[in-house]
């Protein structure tokens, strides 16, 4: 893993404990006092941020609006689905409970760096409950775009998807950002949840939903 990681938590024991664990796995770990400035100085970065107070939530929102935008794993105080869903809506890529095991933290960091999203099932359910189903025709998605999202939901990396689709990774990223905008979401995780609500993950998009599905 070559993406630098910042661990932000008010408790030194937790902060340095997580840092030590991840450093043992070859992760470049930092504990900056100004994580926003730290992230802005890096083209790509990952922030493991505990959201325990109002200030923490404000910081999460600031990080997710920053450019370049860091990947953020929100660490919530408990397994509350509401807190996790709120973090995702603000732009967090993945969600963890502060009581998560060491293995769960390692898995979330590795998966997030690889372009995947990790969250408890309850968080996905909470996100789904706040959305209304849409059809592909309503948002103007093509069959190819839906296929891209299905591939991402199945765990395919950006690099693998770009190669399969015949684009560079940079071009693939831009194309997916356009798809997210059409869906009214900001992250891959939200896009996958949106697809799940619409029933597109199971391959049941009808021609009426997506007229150019065969194209």
pLDDT at 211 over 50: no
**pLDDT tens digits, one per residue of 167-196:** 999 999 899 988 887 777 777 777 877 777
Q: What integer pLDDT is reported at residue 48 of this predicted model?
A: 97
* Number of other CB atoms surrounding residue 211 within 10 Å: 13
**Residue 54 DSSP class:** H
Provide φ and ψ at 214, rounded to 5°.
Answer: -85, -5
pLDDT at 126 over 60: yes
**pLDDT tens digits, one per residue of 15-46:** 989 988 888 878 899 999 999 999 999 999 99
Q: What integer pLDDT is reported at residue 32 of this predicted model?
A: 95
pTM score, whole prediction: 0.63
Q: State whether residue 131 is helix, strand or coil.
A: coil
Domains of the chain from N-terminus onward: 5-128 (3.40.50.2300), 131-198 (1.10.10)
Rounded Cα distance, 159 and 162, in Å: 5
**pLDDT tens digits, one per residue of 68-87:** 889 999 999 876 688 888 89
Tell me what percent of the residues of the chain surpass a pLDDT of 90: 35
Determine if the peptide bond prior to 174 is cis (ω within 30°).
Answer: no
pLDDT at 199 over 80: no
Mean pLDDT of the chain: 82
Choose among 26, 46, 36: nearest CA to 108: 46
Q: What integer pLDDT is reported at residue 209 of this predicted model?
A: 41
* 105 pLDDT tier (thresholds 50, 70, 90): very high
Q: Check if the beta carbon of residue 45 is closer than 8 Å to that of residue 38.
A: yes
């Amino acid at each position: 893993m070559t993406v630098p990681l910042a661990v932000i938590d008010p408790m030194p024991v937790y902060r340095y404990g997580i840092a030590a664990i991840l450093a043992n796995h070859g992760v470049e770990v930092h504990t900056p006092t100004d994580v926003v400035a730290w992230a802005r100085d890096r083209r790509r970065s990952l922030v493991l941020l505990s959201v325990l107070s109002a200030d923490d939530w404000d910081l999460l929102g600031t990080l997710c609006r920053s450019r370049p935008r860091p990947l953020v794993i929100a660490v919530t105080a408990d397994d509350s689905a509401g807190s996790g869903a709120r973090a995702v809506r603000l732009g967090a890529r993945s969600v963890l409970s502060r009581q998560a095991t060491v293995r769960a933290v390692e898995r979330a960091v590795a998966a997030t760096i690889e372009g995947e999203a990790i969250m408890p099932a309850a968080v996905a359910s909470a996100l789904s409950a706040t959305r209304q189903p849409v059809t592909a025709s309503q948002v103007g998605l093509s069959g190819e775009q839906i296929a891209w999202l299905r591939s991402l939901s199945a765990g395919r990396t950006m690099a693998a998807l770009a190669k399969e689709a015949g684009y560079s990774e940079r071009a693939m990223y831009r194309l997916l950002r356009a798809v997210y905008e059409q869906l009214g979401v900001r992250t891959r995780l939200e896009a996958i949840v949106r697809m799940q609500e619409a029933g597109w993950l199971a391959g049941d998009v009808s021609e009426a939903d997506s007229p150019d599905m065969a194209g």
